[in-house]
């Protein structure tokens, strides 16, 4: 059996990624028009959450319900993983009972090990290294708002070593746009991911130069879950990279702003930007639902 997993964006070819994003827009239109589409009646998605999330849980659970299937929420308290069972054993058991699995965890190696033993497709709902589902929604949102990404300039400001920065790098390489990453010297991207996307990524320490003429400005929280002890140090290091009205004014007049949420107003972004007319964060959040539905459909139909 040929099982397709989605652990990073690079698990899709550029053509597959393009088709999946257009399919997500078609599924969104169908939903808005009230079309009932239930191709996965009787199918089950297991969702393993080592890290809590509002958008990831709701979007996958609602998406599977709209497809006529069922989503099963599993926190560490609901599985033997929380009591030390090897992740490979959990993968062997779960994948004999369900049709597809989403894992949201810390170390990326955990999901790689899980997928290696799984009989069904595995989706990366977030790891410390990658957040590919969020990128599906982000890319879809830009295409809805401004058209194709090829040839565009995207500026990512903030923590260059986090999962969002890494997935944006992979997206740039796959979709043919330039990504300018502006981050302090101590928070540089993973060297291997950067090298693989070197054709599309530019490191720019000055945030004003990074956003100059850009079509899209992106940021993320400065202190992610599990980094709380570093909060004071991070606040100081990232302060020059805050997305505010002055920085947005350096971008293209048609530029949009994105944030994967939850946001900290007054830290990585000011209220006037995230709540302003250039912000598309609410469409971006909604599109987690539609983009992931397209992903689930793609993976289940590959089997």
Residue 218: helix, strand or coil by DSSP? strand
Rounded Cα distance, 190 and 196, in Å = 10
Residue 295 known to bind ligand: no
Residue 119 known to bind ligand: no
**Which residue is catalytic, options 43, 57, 130, 134?**
134
134 is a catalytic site residue? yes
Residue 140 known to bind ligand: no
131 is a catalytic site residue? yes
180 is a catalytic site residue? no
Residue 8 known to bind ligand: no
H or E element: which one contains 201?
strand 201-203
**Which residue is catalytic, options 10, 43, 57, 104?**
104
**Which residue is catalytic, options 108, 180, 234, 288?**
288
**Which residue is catalytic, options 131, 152, 180, 234?**
131
Residue 152 known to bind ligand: no
220 is a catalytic site residue? yes
Residue 250 known to bind ligand: no
Residue 219 known to bind ligand: no
**Which residue is catalytic, options 99, 128, 190, 220?**
220
Give CA separation, 198 vs 43, 169, 170, 194, 270, in Å. 40, 9, 10, 6, 31
288 is a catalytic site residue? yes
Among candidate residues 149, 153, 86, the one with its CA nearest the CA of residue 114: 86
Rounded Cα distance, 269 and 243, in Å = 5
Residue 92 known to bind ligand: no
Residue 206: helix, strand or coil by DSSP? coil
Residue 225 known to bind ligand: yes
Residue 251 neighbours by CB under 8 Å, 6+ apart: 155, 211, 212, 213, 214, 215, 217
- B/e letters for 28-44, b = 16+ CB within 10 Å, e = fewer, are beebeeeeeeeebeebb
Phi first, then psi: what are they for 165, rounded to 5°?
-60, -45
Residue 132 known to bind ligand: yes
Residue 131 known to bind ligand: yes
**Which residue is catalytic, options 66, 260, 290, 292?**
260
Residue 41 known to bind ligand: no
Phi first, then psi: what are they for 74, rounded to 5°?
-130, 110
Residue 220 known to bind ligand: yes
Catalytic residues: 104, 131, 134, 220, 260, 288
Binding-site residues for carbamoyl phosphate, in ranges, read: 53-56, 80, 104, 131-134, 260-261, 288
- Binding-site annotation, residues for L-ornithine: 163, 220, 224-225
Which residues contribute to the annotated binding site?
53-56, 80, 104, 131-134, 163, 220, 224-225, 260-261, 288
């Amino acid at each position: 059996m040929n099982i397709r997993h989605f652990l990073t964006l690079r698990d899709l070819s550029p053509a597959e990624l393009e088709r999946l994003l257009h399919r997500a827009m078609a599924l969104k239109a169908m939903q808005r028009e009230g079309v009932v589409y239930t191709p996965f009646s009787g199918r089950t998605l297991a969702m393993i959450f080592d890290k809590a999330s509002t958008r990831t849980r709701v979007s996958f659970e609602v998406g599977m319900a709209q497809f006529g299937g069922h989503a099963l929420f599993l926190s560490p308290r609901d599985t033997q993983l929380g009591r030390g069972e090897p992740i490979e054993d959990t993968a062997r058991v779960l994948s004999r009972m369900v049709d597809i699995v989403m894992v949201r965890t810390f170390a990326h190696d955990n999901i790689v090990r899980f997928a290696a033993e799984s009989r069904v497709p595995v989706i990366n709902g977030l790891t410390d290294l990658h957040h590919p589902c969020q990128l599906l929604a982000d890319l879809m949102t830009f295409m809805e708002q401004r058209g194709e990404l090829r040839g565009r300039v995207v500026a990512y400001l903030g923590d260059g070593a986090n999962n969002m920065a890494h997935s944006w790098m992979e997206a740039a390489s796959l979709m043919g746009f330039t990504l300018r990453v502006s981050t302090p010297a101590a928070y540089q991207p993973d060297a291997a991911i950067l090298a693989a996307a070197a054709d599309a990524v530019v490191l720019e320490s000055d945030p004003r130069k990074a956003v100059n003429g850009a079509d899209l400005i992106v940021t993320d929280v400065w202190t992610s879950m599990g980094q709380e002890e570093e909060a004071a140090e991070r606040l100081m290091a990232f302060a020059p990279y805050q997305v505010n009205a002055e920085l947005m004014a350096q971008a293209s007049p048609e530029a949009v702003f994105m944030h994967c949420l939850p946001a900290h107003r007054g830290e990585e972004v000011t209220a006037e930007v995230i709540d302003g007319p250039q912000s598309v964060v609410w469409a971006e959040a909604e599109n987690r639902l539609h983009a992931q539905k397209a992903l689930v459909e793609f993976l289940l139909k590959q089997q």
